[in-house]
Structure formats: C-alpha cells, structure tokens
Amino acid sequence: MQRTGAEQMANIGGANLPSVASFNESVVLDTIRLAGTISRVELAQNTGLTAQTVSTITRRLLADGLIEEGAPEPSTGGKPRTPLRMNASAGAAVGVHVDPYLINVVVTDLGGNTLYTAQATPPAKSGARPFVGKIVHQIKAAIGDSAVPADRLLGIGVAVPGPLDPGTGAIRHPPNMPNLGDVPLREEIQAGLGNDKFQVVVENDATAAAIGEHWFGADSTDDFAYIYLGTGVGAGLFLGGTIYRGVTGNGGEIGHCSVDESGPACHCGNRGCLELYCSPLAIVKAARRSGRSPIGEAYAKVCADAAAGRKAARSAISVAARHLATAAQTLVNVLDIRRIVLGGPALLDEIADTYLASIRSAIDAQGYTHQVRTVTVERSRLGVDAAAFGAVSSVFHGVMAPRLPLLAEPSPTRPRSRMLTSLGR
Amino acid sequence: MQRTGAEQMANIGGANLPSVASFNESVVLDTIRLAGTISRVELAQNTGLTAQTVSTITRRLLADGLIEEGAPEPSTGGKPRTPLRMNASAGAAVGVHVDPYLINVVVTDLGGNTLYTAQATPPAKSGARPFVGKIVHQIKAAIGDSAVPADRLLGIGVAVPGPLDPGTGAIRHPPNMPNLGDVPLREEIQAGLGNDKFQVVVENDATAAAIGEHWFGADSTDDFAYIYLGTGVGAGLFLGGTIYRGVTGNGGEIGHCSVDESGPACHCGNRGCLELYCSPLAIVKAARRSGRSPIGEAYAKVCADAAAGRKAARSAISVAARHLATAAQTLVNVLDIRRIVLGGPALLDEIADTYLASIRSAIDAQGYTHQVRTVTVERSRLGVDAAAFGAVSSVFHGVMAPRLPLLAEPSPTRPRSRMLTSLGR
C-alpha cells in the first residue's frame, strides 16, 4: 500500500497570510452581525482572536463604515465598554426568485430591512429571450426604485430551481421551465444589465433559502437542513458552520431521492422520488382536483380543503407529509444534524402544522436517533419569500462570509473577484 | 428581521497565527504524503503557499524526521530539484476493529506498511469487563510484538459500530454487542493500558474505513462516501477535502435510513431500514438458511450459493443489492459527490460485482444526475481489514490532517492535546 509514484495532489491549499487577515476580518464581521451588539472584549472571547487583533480589525471595519459604535455602557470598574454593531445601511443587494409561475424581487440592506419588493408573472411567450428580458427588467426596476446608491449595491442574487451548471449558472433541462433550459443565466443577466459592476450570483433555490435562514432567520448558528417546498422539493444544507454545496453545487437534492422503490417512475429516471408525492402538482393530482385552474390556485384549494377536513385533500397531504418525514429522517441520519427547517412558497399555513408534526413524529419514533441527539423541527421565519430573501443573502454571504482557501466553495457561478475588501469604501 | 439583542454567537473562531503555522505545516505534509515524492517547487504550486514558506516548513519537517530527501533529479537548467517524501517509519499506530465476532488488530507505519496483524475471538463470557480486557490484551500484544519504539507510536485507534457517544467513545445500546453497551470505551482501554502516553481514538467503523481509504486507498483526493458493509451497514463521508462526522460524530448512518416505508419494523423504531435487507444476518434470513452455523459461516455460504446461481441465495443478494443502490443514489443526490466506495468485511468477493453493478446501474438510470456529474463506483482497496486499517489511519488523521479551528471536528473522543507538533522529536 505504500505510495511510490507522483500521485494526485491534495486539493486543498495552504493559507498565506493576506487571505488569513481577510478571513479574520470576516469572522469578526460575522460575529458582530450575529450578535446584534457586542463589545470588543466579547468579540475576542467569541472568536478566539487576541484583543490586539480584534482592535486592529474593528478599527478598519469602523473606518470602512461596515460597523458602528453605540453609546459606551457603564462598566463595573475599568474602561466603559463600547458596543459595536453592524451598519445595516452599509450595503444592500437585489434578490430575485425565478419560478415557472412567478418572478419575485426584493431588495434588502445588510440588516435584512426590506427596501423594495415586487412580483411579476413570467412572459406567456416561449423562448429564453423574453423570459430573461423580463428578469432583467424587474432587476432594473428594483435598482431604480429602491434608490440604493450604486456604491452600496453589493450585487444581484438569482435563485432558481436546480440542477444547476455551476460554470454558467444555467439550469440543466429544467422540467418545469423549458424556456430557461441550458441558458447561461448569469452571463445573460449580466449582459442584459449592461453593467458588469454588479456581480450576479445564481444559486439553487433551496440553497439560497438556507443561506437566507442563516442570515435573516432563526437565532441559531447550529447546522441544519432547510427543506424547501416550491414548484419542486429540495434541501439547502448548512453544515460545519457554512453552506454546503457539494462538488457541483447541486447538493441537497432530496426531490429525486427515492422514498418508495416500488413507486411510480419519475422523469429523472428513478422510481418513487420524493417530488412525485410532495410537489404542488403531485398533491393536486393525488387529490384528483380538476386541472383547469392554474396550479397555484388548485394547490391552494387542496391545502384549504385538507385543513377543512375534506377526505381526498387530507389524504393527499398526509401521504405527502409521510414521505417528507422519511426524507427528513434520512437527512438527519446521513448528515447528523440537530435541526430541520421547513419552508418555501408551497408551505402554506394550512398544511404547515401537518408537515411539521409528521416529521417530528417520525424522528421521535426512531429511538436510535435519541441516543445521540435531540432534533428540533421548525418552520422557516422567511415565509413564502424565502427564496427571494435567500437570493439577497447569497450575495451577502458570497461577499462577506468567513471562508478560507480550504473552504473555498466550488461554485464558479459566484465570482470571487469581489471579496470582503471590496466593501471598504 | 433586524437583529437587536445580543444573540447567539458565531460558532467559528478566528485563526491566530500559531495555529495557521501548524495548519500550513500539515497541508505541506499531507501534500507530500499524497504525492509520494514531490519537489519544493511543485509543493508551492500545489499548496498555493509561497516558495519561502514551503522552504521554511520543509526545513522544519526534515529536522523533525517526518520527511526525507531523495537524490536530486537532473533538471533542464537551473538548480537540480530534490524530491521530498514522507519518512514512513517516523510514526506508527495500532488499529483495532471491534466486532461482535472478531477483534482484528493491525499495526502499520505512516506509509501503510503492515508491521503486525492478529485476530482474536471476543470472550464467550458476558459483561463488559472480559470484553474490554481482551481488547486491551490484544493491544498490548500488538505493541510488544510489533516492537515499534514507544516514541514513534502515535496512538491506538479503535473502530466500533455506532451509534457512538462522542464524549466517552461509548457505543449507545449496540444491538449486536450488548456487552459493550454504554461502556466508556476510550477511558476503559486507556485505563487498561495503564499508560496515558498513548492516545486512544474511538471511531465509528464506517468513518474509520473512509479515513483509511483516504490514507491508504485509491489514488484520489475527491470527495466520496464509503459504504461500509460489516455486521451492520453504514457510510463514512469524506467531504470538502476532509472527513465529515456530523454534529455528534454519527454522520453517514445509512443503515437506519428507510428504503421502503412499507417494509418491516426495525429495532430502531423506523420501518424498512437499509440494514434490514443488507446486513449478513438479514441476508442469511432472507435466503432461509438454517441458523445453526455461526452467522459468518452461514453468510459466506449464502454468498457462495448466490455466485453459484442458487435461487434463494441469489434472490436475497439481489434484493440487498437493489436496496443498497437506492441508498447510494440518495448519498449521491444529497451530498453531490462523484465517487462511491464500497467495502468492509461483509463485502465478500462472491457478491462484490453484483453490488457494484447494481449501484452503477441505478446511478446510470438517473438521467438527472448525468446532467451535473459523472459518478464512479469502486471497490475499496482495503479489503476485509478496512476497519482495522481505518482505525490506524484515524490516529494518523487525528494527529496530522490539516485542520483549522473553523474545521475543528466535534469529536471529544479524539483528544486534541497531541497535534502535529507532538510529532517533532
């Protein structure tokens, strides 16, 4: 077994000092952001950095306008502690959620304050050009109407259903969006904006939702899986304190995991995929509702009927809930996480409790899991706009999240040129 | 959504300089190890470190005896390049695989050269004391007979079935090993050895096998999932260039993922768990073989019968292969990896090809996956001793693998006191 030849190299790089400096800078910034307000002493305690390093970094962040000081707090002797907090207005981003039935745009600042919001319907015409044109139009309107100064606009995040080609941001053969199939979305949007000053980040919708949950959601930094219910079903994974994308940027694809090997054939080539039971279309079909009304309306009706106790609808929802619970259990077992977050535009109020209860009960029933962990199952705080807020936070995350060469995320859809330092102004 | 109070802190720490120095040191060492032989110029290219940093680090590693120089290679002009390689004999470790039916011990050096190997049967007597006593006895015999100098023995790795308590290295309610249930294995073995100079690392068997595959196995540094077939079924995950353990050290638990929701009830509380179809016991039952012979023998007979085309055996193996393929597909979809490795003591030659073919064909059938990745499915090179070699490499990995505070693995079963610097002598 001894190795003799020159074999494949390690794919991880060492850390030269400059990148470590900016890594520490982003660790400090992330700690301030998550804390709300925090003193320099607490910063040193929480980051493990020396007081001197914290002092140097916070001085630089203050000069850059990224953080600000509050009024000094009375101290029990010694120097009063000056609380630091993020300057929410130091930066903002546009987030676009592209869905077969909706183009949802939001603009928020770094603190998650909504500065602008708009919805539009994708064009009826077929072909990529009108669709991309509409997306670009919506982004331009958001940039114009939100009146964010150009030097504070950190970028544009676009959340789309997978599978993604990480090189171009193209959706590979999207079953629900043939118009956008294999269109190099990042370049097309960039070209449409006619301004390469704005970086465009294309992200899987479920991954975007998970990033959004970390940035704007629950007050927890624990690892979690975000089960995203939209036109399809996916999961965004937050593992080891950062977002997990996988080798090609398509991790968390639970929609095409088989939950029933003897189930029906799926367009993906597999059998009994989760999506065959849990997508709005599948649920509408299972409840045997007429397909004449638009899918969104028909789905909302099934959810309302289920809440009202109507049998066919209730049965369709409970089948979906059971399969979802199996997938959630698999995520807990494989990833060894303590938190499942459920959200997305298809998680309507009428069915949320049924889904949450089904997942909780399946996880509780597995004695095995109790022996090593307690799992919380919670609803996302981001509501039906999860993917749009997620798209915004994808930009913030790309620019500001602590990341070392070793942790480099293999997603060329996320241009690297504009890192933390670009925020200094 | 704006955060106002002092909320939970980021759980990641900044990188002060000393730990970065030792991080770079271990990146260099890992790169040399994986390369076999490599020049300083190539080291700088592959690690992204400056030539000067590489020069400083390699000088220190040479002085410590961890690496050695080969004969200078003729160069096309300029200074001849001196190849560097790991000094395999600079360190060694004991690896123990504890199984209900076997205690398997190996000793290897850093290059994977086997210095000692021995098998023993667990004691027939019930209770933890005789079992732990036997393990300790086997370790002492390995230390004595392998004649590794005490100052080169880096530690003792113990691979056991999960679920593990990461605090103590205890197996929680092991269904197949009631004798060892909740016994704080790490402390007990340490106490039995009467020498706290040797660090004892307790690791899940599937995770150990994955670490072994990375250290001694295929010539690839790609991310992978190691599907481990032993008394139970598990997976070891190598993600983002390092081993993935999960929050409690129990990641990769595919054995209790449901592959058939309407399948039989499992002792874990779930239904249709993978282990109910793929464990040797399940296969022997499914082939309806008499339970009179020991399970190992009965299982080997079923595998041989399946290879010979006998119907009941062949059917049991093909059912197991199909379910295994579903689980493998789930791992590929959730983790977004390009490599599945199959191994472990229950992967006998007679069935290996059937299993590999079943997994390959299921993955090939899923058109979805082709759009973003090509997956290789391969057999582990470590053979039936995978867990024992894995236990050895768990020690090497714990002492030497590149790891930053950010990447700190949440496994208190792995004492941290003895890091790379302890290797310098």
In B, which residues are within 8 Å of A373 by CB distance?
A: 247-248, 250
- pLDDT for residue B369: 65
As a whole number of angstroms, the distance between CA B358 and CA B353 comes to 8
Cis bond upstream, residue B163 (ω within 30): yes
In A, which residues are within 8 Å of B48 by CB distance?
A: 13-14, 16, 405
Contact: B46, A246; criterion CB under 8 Å: no
- pLDDT for residue B14: 53
Of A9, A221, A372, the CB nearest to B10: A221
For the beta carbon of residue A40, count every other beta carbon within 10 angstroms: 17
What is the band of B151 on the pLDDT scale with cuts at 50, 70, 90? confident
Top residue of A336, A338, A360, A369 to mutate, by most chain B CBs within 10 Å, is A336
pLDDT digits (tens, 9 = 90+) for B192-215: 998 667 889 999 999 999 999 988
Collapse the DSSP code of A425 into the 3-class scheme (helix H, G, I; strand E, B; otherwise coil) and give the result: coil
DSSP 8-state assignment for residue A80: P
Joined together, the tokens standing for residue B8 give: 């939970």
Residue B299, burial from CB neighbour count under 10 angstroms (0-12, 13-18, 19+): buried
CB B295 within 8 A of CB A393: no
Name every residue whose Cβ is closer than 8 Å to that of residue B278 and which is 6 or more positions away in sequence.
B229, B233, B255, B320, B323, B324
Joined together, the tokens standing for residue A324 give: 């979802």
As a three-state string, the secondary structure of B106-164 is EEEECCCCEEEEEEECCCCCCCHHHHHHHHHHHHHHHHHHHCCCHHHEEEEEEEECCCE
For B86, nearest residue in chain A (alpha carbons): A3
CB B381 within 8 A of CB B362: no
Cis bond upstream, residue A163 (ω within 30): yes
H helices of A173-221, in order, are 185-193, 205-216
Mean pLDDT in order along chain A per 10 residues (425 residues):
27 48 77 88 88 91 89 72 90 93 92 93 86 95 93 92 83 76 90 83 94 83 92 93 88 92 87 93 86 82 96 96 96 95 95 97 80 89 90 86 41 29 31
- pLDDT for residue B21: 54
In B, which residues are within 8 Å of A246 by CB distance?
A: 223, 335-337
Q: How far is A232 from chain B (nearest CA, A)?
A: 14
Q: How far is B168 from chain A (nearest CA, A)?
A: 12
If one compares B396 and B142, the residue with the highest pLDDT of the two is B142
As a whole number of angstroms, the distance between CA B136 and CA B123 comes to 12
* pTM score, whole prediction: 0.86
pLDDT digits (tens, 9 = 90+) for B132-143: 999 999 999 999
Contact: B257, A112; criterion CB under 8 Å: no
Predicted-complex ipTM score: 0.85
Contact: B24, A14; criterion CB under 8 Å: yes
Name every residue whose Cβ is closer than 8 Å to that of residue B200 and which is 6 or more positions away in sequence.
B155, B156, B158, B169, B186, B189, B190, B193
Cα R_g (chain A), whole angstroms: 23
- Amino acid identity at A278: C
Q: Indicate if the pLDDT at residue B408 is higher than 70.
A: no
Joined together, the tokens standing for residue A179 give: 């118009």
For the beta carbon of residue A354, count every other beta carbon within 10 angstroms: 18
Q: What percent of chain B has pLDDT over 90?
A: 52
- pLDDT for residue A379: 96
Range A403-412 burial, b when 16+ CB lie within 10 A, else e = bbbbbebebe
Contact: B47, A368; criterion CB under 8 Å: no
- pLDDT for residue B417: 26
